[in-house]
Structure 1
Amino acid sequence: MDCEFQIAAEMRSALLEDRVCDVEAVFLQNGAYPPDLVWDPEVEQIEDSRLRQLRDYWRAKAGGAPAAPEHMIDPAEMRFILGYVMLLEVLEAGSDFRYRLYGSLIAERFGRDVTGQTVRQFGDSEYIVNFFLATYQAVSTTRRPLLSVHYPRPGSQTASWSRLILPLSDGRGTVSRLLVGQIPGEWRPRPPGATPTAF
């Protein structure tokens, strides 16, 4: 196993086994507040109206199936959240994920556009990259939507990130892509001399 992403494998197992405390421990060890995690979120559990609308859109396209067919997803129908949408391609049975679309407003807050890159290329073995990889792997495996709200460390200029991860399937019923809505929280002033960071 790739030692650099061992933490991702451990968090993925924790997510699949509902061992939330193990995921929380990784955040606490890195000086960050533990994330809020909700499988199969109901509307009232999703604070942001755009994410609620995205969930309803995905459910309508899924028609009761565990994953919505990827060919049914039309960006023109998602104007309500454009700029805050990511589309990830599943690579090597979920070993990695490529950003086919990285919302312009996410890129603006993050400070760069990672379209075309993979999650593993996104950064190094930072805990948050491992967390992203673990959540995407868990959703691909379970075919269940996951709502994640995490709170970056104090040095970050973003107070929180809310992500709704939704599975999409190909013609064979395999989870081939992930539709992700990601909404940043409030801006925080950057401490003098601190390196800009969003996560």
Structure 2
Amino acid sequence: MPIWSTADKVTSEKVLALDAYWRARLGNGPIPCRKLFDPSDLRDLLPNILIVEFADDPWKIRYRLIGTKVVEMSRLDFTGRRLDECAFQTTDEDIWYQAYKMVGERSAPVYGRATIPIEGADNQHVTEEFGIFPLTHDGTAIHQCIAIEDYTPIDRLIPPDRIRPMRMR
């Protein structure tokens, strides 16, 4: 599965930029506090950002904010939905569950790549590189994550509406 515990394999400038921002807010603790994140600092990244919260336990993930680029690429605004309600159209649908589980178990960021098929085009796909970074309210427990998704440049002949749409279960 294409999930990593370090940023060594990350090629996305956007993922690396959020990684640097997250690390700059660590202070003395293992997880930065959510209140240290200012959206105006992340203006260029906001279309690609997701804010998720852990509800009930670390395996119940609820999407609180979905950036406009993520909505465009998913072809669905899943703000307010739980991870288990979403049927993501990647070639490895379980990647999101595994990535968030890894964040919860390690209390540390995870990185990875997902492949999204193009509708009606055999062997054509968009590669999505992502980073998921834990956040806390109390200094210890993970309450939220800030995540970012960056997509390979899409050929102008393949508009986002040709990407296989996400659907709800």
Shared fold by TM > 0.5? yes
What secondary structure does 1:159 align onto? strand
Superposition pairs for residues 26-175 of structure 1, below 5 Å?
35=2, 37-42=3-8, 45-123=9-87, 128-153=92-117, 155=119, 158-175=125-142
Q: TM-score, normalization: structure 1?
A: 0.70
Point out the more displaced range, 55-64 or 146-155: 146-155
Tell me which of the two structures has the higher relative contact order, counting C-alpha pairs closer than 8 angstroms and 6 or more residues apart: 2
Structure 1 residue ranges without an equivalent (≥5): 1-22, 24-34
Aligned-partner Cα distance in 1 for 2:131–2:102: 13
Q: Label 1:175 to 1:161 Cα distance change in 2 as closer, same or farther (>3 A).
A: same
Aligned length: 159
Q: Deviations over 1:23-64 (max 9, x none)?
A: 3xxxxxxxxxxx3x321215xx42121221111100011125
Aligned-partner Cα distance in 1 for 2:125–2:153: 6
- The CA RMSD over aligned residues, in Å, is 2.5
- Larger helix share, 1 or 2: 1
Aligned-partner Cα distance in 2 for 1:129–1:88: 18
Q: Label 1:196 to 1:147 Cα distance change in 2 as closer, same or farther (>3 A).
A: closer
Q: Deviations over 1:87-109 (max 9, x none)?
A: 00001111211110011111011
Structure 2 residue ranges without an equivalent (≥5): none
Q: TM-score, normalization: structure 2?
A: 0.82
Identity %: 18
What secondary structure does 1:108 align onto? helix
- Asked whether the equivalents of residues 158 and 184 of structure 1 are also in contact (C-alpha less than 8 Å), the reply is no
